[in-house]
Structure 1
Amino acid sequence: MFELTVEIALLLVAAGFAAGFVDAIAGGGGLITVPVLMLVGMPPAQALATNKVQGAFGAATAAVSYAARGQVDLKSQWKSALLAGLGGLAGAGLVSHLPTDALRVVLPVILIGIAVFFALKPGLNDLDRIRRMGAGLFAATVVPLIGFYDGLVGPGAGSFYMMAFVTLAGYGVLKATAHTKLLNLFSNLGGLAMFAMVGQPLWLVGIMMGGAQIIGAAIGARLALRIGSRLIKPLLVVTSTLLALRLIWQLI
């Protein structure tokens, strides 16, 4: 049974700050917040819904920070953002109707593969490279697919956006991170819109954690903008590996 005490509030605020910092750089903030929300007594569905509330604050802060430094052209990305949001809305709406057990078995393998790719692939830096998929096709297929996954399952969506931007869109690591935060924000908002109707998020808790997310995300984005791929790559490898290990632990 969840009861908000001073001690629990401080724990949730600390989790929100840490998640905002990590998520702004490499994604995977849910690794921190979802277990903490469940640890303090929230049922799983309510924890996921509340996590969407607080996560939106951090993603918005990171997206604005990157856009302000010219890493994202919002005018050219609004269609992709809208498609990510619609994907998140559809995914969250089908949570109780689609089997996700098989996906949870395959997901750790995919995440470890992403970690190995960013750890060992030579030449991954902040410079753009050859685009393997047209912008229109990428926005119409890859973006809503990952957005759908974000609404349906959630963990690892940031890593999938990153991988897609680097390997298919040809973005450098810093630019890929910036665009990931924008699309993550909108797929998160799409999922939140659906969870708000069916998942009963605790808005006060989500907003409280969201305030800490803003501070953590602002600091994380500033560091990423200053250091670039030298910070983003190792943190992405670590968060993807930890998320894979956590998912494996849940399956055992």
Structure 2
Amino acid sequence: MLPIGPEILLLLVLAAFIAGVIDSIAGGGGLLALPAILLAGAPPVTALATNKLQGMFGTASAVLHYARAGQVEPRTQAFPALLALLAGGGGALVASHLPAEAIRAVLPILLIGVALYFAFKKGLNDDDRHQRMSEGTFDATFVPGMAFYDGVLGPGTGSFFMLGFVTLRGFGLLKATAHTKLLNFASNVGSMLVFALVAQPWWIVGLSMGVAQFAGAQVGSRLAVRVGARVIRPLLVVTSVALALRLLWQAWSA
């Protein structure tokens, strides 16, 4: 049974499409999709589970296009993706036992820092540069750490993954975006598997939004591949600042 009216579902589908475009380029699609689900009347845990469900389609869509465009090779990323899946599930499993309020208090500062870095750091483009961390160390530490955070809370995961790939692995912006989507997809799957057991997602709503997310991510990833850093960099700055402001507004309202 559909928990909402068809007109509300249509608005959620539209929000999911726009979120898919944004998320496939710079992350932050949950900035639009999750509040929309909450406004539709979903309880918080249900909204989080439904958002993970629909978000999987967007990240999967982006991964498919980036792989076809030669920006990421999924087979070579199998191990870090598995770690992200397990860590995302672990994060979702222990979410209720962690001080989420403290994390939310620090998040706006971190996101504004991400925005400032990408806004003012000179030389950021689609070219690779010197790496500060080996692939093995990055996969064993940063990847599961961010995936665990994605399962626990989630906002800004794509932006933080991007920052890690650029600053630690030395990736160009387009390559970093492509690799971010693969790991974000894996962490979404892991956390969704857990939420399917411990929560009650709106399945029809989530799947309907997922179809729109898939289509939106195809549009966004095509734009990113065609234009590259010229669209990724400003959109990453805007989404990071917008998410930080939203979190600050939530804290102020509370």
How does the TM-score come out when normalised to structure 2? Answer: 0.98
How far off is 1:200 after superposition? 1.0
Counterpart of 1:246 in structure 2 is 246
Question: How far apart are the structure 2 equivalents of 1:47 and 1:24?
Answer: 21
Equivalent AA in structure 1 for residue 102 of structure 2: A
Counterpart of 2:4 in structure 1 is 4
Q: In 1, are the aligned partners of 2:81 and 2:183 still within 8 Å (CA)?
A: yes
How far off is 1:3 after superposition? 3.5
Residues 31-110 of structure 1: matches in 2 within 5 Å? 31-110=31-110
How far off is 1:101 after superposition? 1.3
Equivalent AA in structure 1 for residue 103 of structure 2: L
Report the 3-state secondary structure (helix = DSSP H, G, I; strand = E; otherwise coil) of the residue aligned with 2:95. Answer: coil
Question: How far apart are the structure 2 equivalents of 1:100 and 1:210?
Answer: 26
Q: In 1, are the aligned partners of 2:88 and 2:148 still within 8 Å (CA)?
A: yes
Residues 150-189 of structure 1: matches in 2 within 5 Å? 150-189=150-189
| 1:100-119 Cα deviation digits (max 9, x unpaired) | 11111111000000000000
How far off is 1:204 after superposition? 0.9
How many residues get paired? 251
How does the TM-score come out when normalised to structure 1? Answer: 0.98
Question: How far apart are the structure 1 equivalents of 2:228 and 2:75?
Answer: 24
Equivalent AA in structure 2 for residue 144 of structure 1: P
How far off is 1:23 after superposition? 0.3
- Structure 2 unaligned runs (5+)? none
Q: In 1, are the aligned partners of 2:3 and 2:202 still within 8 Å (CA)?
A: no
| 1:188-213 Cα deviation digits (max 9, x unpaired) | 11110111111111111110000101
Question: How far apart are the structure 2 equivalents of 1:42 and 1:74?
Answer: 34
| 1:45-83 Cα deviation digits (max 9, x unpaired) | 100000000000000000110011110111211101111
Question: How far apart are the structure 2 equivalents of 1:12 and 1:43?
Answer: 16
Q: In angstroms, what is the RMSD of aligned CA positions?
A: 0.8
Question: How far apart are the structure 2 equivalents of 1:149 and 1:60?
Answer: 19
Equivalent AA in structure 2 for residue 73 of structure 1: E
Report the 3-state secondary structure (helix = DSSP H, G, I; strand = E; otherwise coil) of the residue aligned with 1:96. Answer: helix
Counterpart of 2:123 in structure 1 is 123
How far off is 1:6 after superposition? 1.7
Question: How far apart are the structure 1 equivalents of 2:48 and 2:3?
Answer: 17
Identity percentage over the alignment? 58
Question: How far apart are the structure 2 equivalents of 1:70 and 1:83?
Answer: 23
How far off is 1:227 after superposition? 0.1
Counterpart of 2:13 in structure 1 is 13
Counterpart of 1:135 in structure 2 is 135
Counterpart of 1:147 in structure 2 is 147
How far off is 1:9 after superposition? 1.2
- Structure 1 unaligned runs (5+)? none
Question: How far apart are the structure 2 equivalents of 1:140 and 1:204?
Answer: 36
Q: In 1, are the aligned partners of 2:16 and 2:209 still within 8 Å (CA)?
A: yes
